[in-house]
Structure 1
Amino acid sequence: MGRHYSQLSATERNDLHSRMLNGESLRSIARSLGRAASTLSREISRNSEDGEEYDACIAGYARRWRRRHGMVKLRDGSALRAWVFAHIRRGWSPQQISGKLRRQRDDEQQQGPRLPTVSHETIYRAIYVLPRGQIRKELVSFLRQHHSQRLPLRRRTDKRGGMIGMISIHERPADVLGREFPGDWEGDLIKGAGNASAIGTLIERKSRFTILVKMKDCSSSAALIGFRRELGKVPAAMRKSLAYDQGKEMVRHGELSKALKLKVYFCDPHSPWQRPSNENMNGLVRQYLPKGCDLSIYEQKDLNAIAESLNTRPRACLSFQTPMEVFTSECAKLELAAA
């Protein structure tokens, strides 16, 4: 059996702190405490940032913080921590990792050992609690926003408020999640340099068929005109619902819903995983329209060409059919059923 590892006690931290102040070497302190020098080294590294000296009081507080916020699951050396960080390096978001672990837990056919579940917030904390250095910098570089520090809670709190008459995505029919039936869409707005220009993005959940929408500006009237124009070209039977975030450009959602006879559902604030297909598609669109560019220079014909390029790529999730093929097939089925 391997040795049981235990965290340093408050007494050991105080002893470590005082002996370091007296100039005693780390190996000498380790021998005195009956600990491995590497254990003390990790303790110091984990609780010393920006060149500050190790402090037993601060280290004790940090340990209590990590335990209180679920960091015990992602402790140093754990299999879960290694798995999570490996998938961060593969480009997975914390939300995707958390969701995958939950599915693994609920999968009755899962073979072999199961890793514990962990929330996306705990994963973010595990990254940002790391001492400043190469590993933290590397992991942060794989996050979508690349923030060097986690935004304060007050800046992450949604201040927009609910829109009049909005319907929560939690009221959307459960069968939409299974992508069994066509006609359910996800939408968003991609903004250009200085948030002065924008294009609308729409994707049909079952076929992954993409529509890009020319916008005059970022206003609600531009969103209403653009989405009504382009979605209006889609057969009525293929536009049942639209999932969107709570951006102010959708304040006129009631008019859009009435004009196109589709229901608009609003996601929770700061919950992009509730529109997974759209978030993935936005990343693909950014290959053509990188951040910081002026989107007003693109005409609808230019956006149609980009959408066609995306819609004619074979997709693994569609058994290597293209979104265009699947969308056309679904339209034909609906037309036949209506005849």
Structure 2
Amino acid sequence: FIDYVQRHFFEDGWSLDVCSNRCTAVGEFASNDIVCTRTLYNYVDQGLLNIHNYDLPEKLKRNTKIHRIRKNKKKLGRSIEQRPQEVNKRDVFGHWECDLVLGHKTKDDEVLLTLSERMSREFLIIKIPDKTAASVMNAFKSLRKQYSEHWNDIFKTITTDNGSEFADLSQLEDISKSLVYYAHPYTSCDKGTVERHNGLIRRFIPKGDYIHNYSLQQIIDIETWCNSLPRKILAYHTPDEIFERELDRIYQTA
């Protein structure tokens, strides 16, 4: 079991919690053949593993920000306050959050359009030439073409912020049944799922790095890693497993 933990920790980037629980969730180990998450962290502190505290990217993080809702920014469309309650519960598939991840923050650098489905935590990363509203809409048009007749079932709602790059996103409502909601100004916690996933990208692309220095294949590899990472919130299944299950349901009933 310890070999299993250390292999997946270093080769696949799993957390100690995932290492401890994924193996029983999929039947690779019996519960009496493993130790719990807390014990694994104790092993790290005691120097009993080849894993050290400096290898744990989340351990020393602390959230000290106070979230305030400010009202001094223009609203681009339908407020998140009008979003159906079922979206908040995360028990219905097809509700997404989206954002942008910037690299060097210069006009000559590319950016990443990111989307996360709230129930499955499926994460999409799309490389676009710049952070203009036109580039964002072109990416969404390509995505809509990819899912074609199933778009309305897969993308029921999209929640984003009030940045000018998303000013045209509500145009999706003119060509599909998708509803677009805008978060409160300066309130990133309104779309915490995609913000959390953006943090995962920073493990591979540090702030300040040029996005254009990363190939399309490297971006795909980051996306694949995120969607192959077992999650505690998903009973230690992966986003891909949940997402594919929901797609199968949609395609079978079409």
TM-score clears 0.5: yes
CA distance in 1, matches of 2:163, 2:87: 22
How far did residue 91 of structure 1 move? 2.8
Inter-CA distance 297–121: structure 2 relative to 1 (3 Å threshold): closer
CA distance in 1, matches of 2:212, 2:176: 26
Q: Which amino acid aligns with 2:93?
A: P
Picking from 199, 215, 223, the partner of 1:307 is 223
1:64-93 deviations in Å (ceiling 9; x for gaps): xxxxxxxxxxxxxxxxxxxxxxxxx95342
What is the RMSD computed on CA atoms of the aligned residues?
Answer: 2.3
Q: Residue in 2 aligned with 1:201?
A: 114
How far did residue 232 of structure 1 move? 4.0
Picking from 156, 177, 180, the partner of 2:88 is 177
Q: Residue in 2 aligned with 1:285?
A: 201
Alignment of 1:1-339 (within 5 A): 91-94=61-64, 120=66, 160-163=73-76, 166-196=77-107, 197=109, 198-234=111-147, 235-236=150-151, 237-338=153-254
* Percent of aligned pairs sharing the same letter: 26
Q: Residue in 2 aligned with 1:80?
A: none
Inter-CA distance 293–333: structure 2 relative to 1 (3 Å threshold): same
CA distance in 2, matches of 1:264, 1:207: 19
Q: Which amino acid aligns with 1:175?
A: E
CA distance in 1, matches of 2:122, 2:144: 12
- Which ranges of structure 1 fall in alignment gaps of 5 or more residues? 1-88, 96-119, 123-155
CA distance in 2, matches of 1:185, 1:316: 20
Inter-CA distance 295–257: structure 2 relative to 1 (3 Å threshold): farther
SS at match of 1:203: strand
Question: What TM-score comes out, normalization by structure 2 length?
Answer: 0.69
CA distance in 1, matches of 2:217, 2:90: 29
Inter-CA distance 90–299: structure 2 relative to 1 (3 Å threshold): closer
1:251-304 deviations in Å (ceiling 9; x for gaps): 111323334431110000111111111111010011111100111233444322
Indicate the larger mover: 247-256 or 167-176.
247-256
How far did residue 162 of structure 1 move? 2.1
CA distance in 1, matches of 2:143, 2:131: 16
SS at match of 1:264: strand
Question: What TM-score comes out, normalization by structure 1 length?
Answer: 0.52
Alpha carbons 2:160, 2:182 under 8 Å: kept: yes
How far did residue 315 of structure 1 move? 0.9
How far did residue 161 of structure 1 move? 1.6
CA distance in 1, matches of 2:67, 2:95: 29
How far did residue 157 of structure 1 move? 6.1
How far did residue 306 of structure 1 move? 1.3
Alpha carbons 1:228, 1:259 under 8 Å: kept: no
Q: Which amino acid aligns with 1:173?
A: P
Indicate the larger mover: 297-306 or 274-283.
297-306
Inter-CA distance 175–94: structure 2 relative to 1 (3 Å threshold): farther
Q: Which has more radius of gyration? A: 1
1:84-139 deviations in Å (ceiling 9; x for gaps): xxxxx9534246xxxxxxxxxxxxxxxxxxxxxxxx369xxxxxxxxxxxxxxxxx
- Which ranges of structure 2 fall in alignment gaps of 5 or more residues? 1-58
